[in-house]
Amino acid sequence: MTNSPAGEEKGKEWDEGAPVPRTWTHLQMATMKALKTRNALVRECMAELLGTFVLLLFGCSAAAQVKTSRETKGQYLSVNMAFSVGVMSAMYLTKGISGAHLNPAVTLSFCALGQVSWDRLVPYCLSQLLGAYIASGLVYLVYYDAIMNFSGGVLTVYGPNETASIFATYPSEFLSLGSSFLDQVVGTSMLMLCILGLGEQRNTPAPSDLIPAIVAVIVLGISMSMSGNCGAAINPARDLGPRLFTLTAGWGPEVFTCYNYWFWVPLVAPCIGALIGTLLYQILISLHLPDPAEPERVCVCHVSTITMAVKQPEPVWDHDKGLKLEHESQRRWFSSRQADPILPPSPEAVRETPGVLV
């Protein structure tokens, strides 16, 4: 840098608080205007894509770290907590744009409730699926060396060195299709049942700013209690997106044919479970909450008891106020009606005038 006055003046143009050059401002405004979309559906789909991407990036990265380190750099609880942090982060990121569904089963339930238009179901689901696919690819690139070192360069679904479970969910070897289906139905029902109660204004609604954190805790609870059988997918996009990636990244079609074509369970069961949870909430909770449009009823016995307990004081004649009012009334009467022979008002009439009783 130069010490000349010209150099100092030139440097001052970029000091903090100095005006930004007009050409740069116009360029920035033109760029922002070109990137901004006016289509609401496109904005919402981009938010769902990014939110699901963040969710899967947290969760699958934790799974890769735990798996490839043979649980020396984390345990199964680490994966559950990472997915919960991903849920919270994704919801804070996208809640103001799309509602932060991040889950086709949740979107389906909100469509069934009439809170989301049915024409948004397919675009939302495709966006969530694409976000999960992209996140899986990024996790694979980040942990590529660790995955190859762990598996010996052979990408498999079975065996002690399998790595497909880093991305998608798979059942335990002893689990039947019926049991795994029930597992996913119950888990997603609990998820949807708890989510619907958070925004119910007629019950005990959670503060809007805390809803993402509360949903994360709910997901953590479900993951810690219902993931032993088949991983607690409770999200079709969370399972199908990574499964499609493993199909194209070298694991082959076995990711769909293994365990008696188990792949359809985390696709269908969460959707059915979400609808069941929504139905249970409507029947057991929502229908029995007070209607805000209906006026609150007050018990007559309570009103009568209060009225009888508090007796009103009897009217008392104030002699001084009565005399003053009587003299003032007579003075006004004589001044305005000197030519009128009507007699002045009597003291009894004055006593009936409002304002004398105390």
Reply yes or no on whether the pLDDT at 346 is more than 70: no
Average of per-residue pLDDT values in the chain: 83
Instruction: Report the alpha-carbon distance of residue 236 to residue 51 in Å, rounded.
Output: 15
Measured CA to CA, the distance from residue 218 to residue 195 in angstroms comes to 8
Q: Given this model, what pLDDT does residue 202 score? A: 87
* Cα 255 to Cα 242: distance, rounded to the nearest angstrom: 10
Rounded CA gap, 313 and 293, in Å? 39
Task: State the architecture of 38-287 in CATH terms.
Answer: Up-down Bundle (1.20)
CA pair distance 358, 350, nearest whole angstrom = 15
Give the end-to-end CA distance of the chain in Å, rounded to a whole number. 89
Q: Say which residues have a Cβ less than 8 Å from residue 272's Cβ, sequence separation at least 6.
A: 185, 188
pLDDT tens digits along 214-246: 999 999 999 999 999 998 899 999 999 999 999
Task: Note the pTM of the prediction, 2 decimals.
Answer: 0.75
Question: Which tens digit of pLDDT belongs to each residue from 78-110?
Answer: 999 999 999 999 999 999 999 999 999 999 999
Q: Check if the beta carbon of residue 245 is closer than 8 Å to that of residue 206.
A: no
Percent of the residues in the chain that have a pLDDT greater than 90, as a whole number: 64
In the three-class reduction of DSSP (H, G, I as helix; E, B as strand; rest coil), residue 104 is classed as helix
The mean pLDDT value for 337-350 works out to 55
- pLDDT tens column, 158-190: 999 999 999 999 999 999 999 999 999 999 999
Average the pLDDT over each of 210-219, 239-248, 326-335 and give the range with the smallest value. 326-335
Strand partners, 187: none
- Tell me what pLDDT residue 321 has: 59
Q: Do the Cβ atoms of 260 and 177 come closer than 8 Å?
A: yes
Q: Give the helix/strand (H/E) hosting 94.
A: helix 76-98
Strand intervals (E) in 182-240: none
Can you give the C-alpha Rg of the chain in angstroms? 36
